Amino acid sequence: MAPFRKMLRLGQVVFASGFVLIISAFIFFSGKANEEQQTTEQFCLSCHGDPSLAVKLPDGETLSLYINPDSLTHSVHSPLGIECQACHTDIQGFPHPERNFSSLRDLSLVYVEACDKCHSTIYDKTKDSIHAQIANTGNKDAPVCTDCHGAHDIQSPDQPRTKVSETCGKCHQGVFETYTHSIHGSALLQDNPDVPVCTDCHGVHNIQDPRTQQFRVESPELCARCHADEKLMAKYGLSSKVYDLYELSWHGVDVSVYQARWPSIWHNSAVCTDCHGIHNILPASDPSSSVNPANLLVTCQKCHPTAGPNWTDAWTGHYEISQARTPWLFYVNSFYSYFVPVVLWLSVAYVLLQILHATVERVKRSLS
């Protein structure tokens, strides 16, 4: 029994020693890998940390080879241990292999492919976007990853949230300027987290062409993401029945039919943006709003040129008919809500009585 106990104790000692060795080796090599990674970054910065480092490109542009150490350290990649060679895969040491770029844009278009290594799902989405479609026509100005996210100074794209629309505004300056004066944009600049930024309506990496008929007929559902949210609308004293009432209107029914059967065929039935605007949306109380009572008739006349001054009197403003807001419409609607069913049921009863009468008469004749 004693020898068995000795062997058991020896086995426990060996197991414990092996476990300690494995843990120690893991800690040692993890630390070494991190040290090597940091060494790689510092090695690159020993040259690229020089603000005067630059080369002249064939088109006359100057390519700065300076990398701000502070920006790199505080980017999203560096703290995760993603070192320079993860993107610059063709560079293994010094001297670097010769690369011939005719312009700064050519360099960006080549190196953006490095994003596909880690972000393949997102990268695939960009291939179906309107930006990629424009790039495929040979337009080198179409935005790529680094135009929106940056290169060595990449940060969280939505912190602060205003950064999203400001990024889009680098190319779409006119639209951004208009947006900042709208009800949505002005609220965003006041740090309101509830209002939409560009990507909430247009998407992020798979942005589609907003000028197509399909985008147009789907736009009411886009607006409904916020404006049919009862809790969110209650916060601002707005009706959350906007989309439901629109669907019941002639405009909504017509658009729904086209969306279901002919989504790619252009149709002129009004969607939200036809009346409220697109990037220039203002509250109805604003004198400059296209749906302000003083401007509403002109807005309607864009589609209904013969509309007269009484045209807008029946407009309930996307609110349900109520005794408080629209008393005359409320009473008329209440009357017909009872009158019509009564007439229909009386008509059904009359028809049934006629059938019964005709049947009884036929039976009488057959018995006589």
Q: Provide the pLDDT for residue 283.
A: 95
Query: What would the two tokens of residue 131 be?
Result: 């930006």
* Residue at 23 is within a domain: no
Answer whether residue 185 is part of any domain. Answer: yes
Share of the chain above pLDDT 70, in %: 89
Mean pLDDT (the chain) is 88
- pLDDT band, very low/low/confident/very high, at 39 (cuts 50, 70, 90): low
Considering the domain architecture, whether residues 226 and 293 belong to the same structural domain is answered as yes
The reply to whether 117 falls in a domain is: yes
Question: Which of 317 and 174 is assigned the larger pLDDT?
Answer: 174
Per the domain annotation, does 359 fall within a domain? yes
Token pair, residue 12, equals 């426990």
Q: What is the pLDDT of residue 330?
A: 87
Lowest-pLDDT range, 30-44, 250-264, 347-361? 30-44
Bridge partners (DSSP) of residue 64 are: 54
Of 141, 173, 207, the residue at which a domain comes to its end is 207
Q: How confident is the model at residue 36 (pLDDT cuts 50, 70, 90)?
A: very low
Alpha-carbon radius of gyration of the chain: 34
Q: Do 357 and 276 fall within a single domain?
A: no
Q: CA distances (Å), 310 to each of 71, 181, 296, 307, in order?
A: 62, 31, 11, 8
Do residues 43 and 107 share a domain? Answer: yes
In a domain, 21, yes or no: no
pLDDT band at 329 (very low <50, low <70, confident <90, very high): confident
CB atoms within 10 A of CB 352: 10
User: Comparing 9-13, 48-52, 296-300, which segment has the lowest mean pLDDT?
Assistant: 9-13
Number of domains making up the chain: 4
Q: What is the structure's pLDDT at 146?
A: 95
- pLDDT: is 13 or 281 the higher one? 281
**Which H/E stretch holds residue 166?**
helix 162-169
Mean pLDDT of 95-103: 88
Residue 225: is its pLDDT beyond 80? yes
pLDDT at 356 over 80: yes
| Residue 320: per-residue pLDDT | 83
Is 42 in the same domain as 149? yes
Please give the average per-residue pLDDT across 271-294, as a whole number. 95
- My answer on whether 129 and 167 are in the same domain is no
| Domain boundary pick from 171, 190, 207 | 207
pLDDT exceeds 60 at position 129: yes
Whether residue 14 lies inside any domain: the answer is: no
Residue 258: how many CB atoms within 10 A of its CB? 19
pLDDT(17) > 70: no
Is pLDDT at 4 greater than 50 in this prediction?
A: no
Residue type, 40: T
Q: Is 33 part of any domain?
A: no
Q: Say whether both 48 and 114 belong to one domain.
A: yes
Range of the domain at 136: 38-90+103-155
Summarised one tens digit per residue, pLDDT across range 227-237 is 999 999 999 99
pLDDT score, position 20: 53
pLDDT category, 40, cuts 50, 70, 90? confident
Looking at the fold, whether 135 and 185 belong to one and the same domain comes out as: no
| Max avg pLDDT among 11-15, 96-100, 144-148 | 144-148
- For position 76, what pLDDT does the model report? 94
* Residue 38, pLDDT above cutoff 70: no
Angstrom distance (rounded) from CA 229 to CA 221: 12
Do residues 86 and 108 both lie within one domain?
A: yes
Q: Are residues 139 and 42 in the same domain?
A: yes
Q: Would the pLDDT of 33 be above 80? A: no
pLDDT at 66: 97
In a domain, 4, yes or no: no
Shared domain for 314 and 339, answered yes or no, is no
Domain-terminating residue out of 139, 155, 171:
155
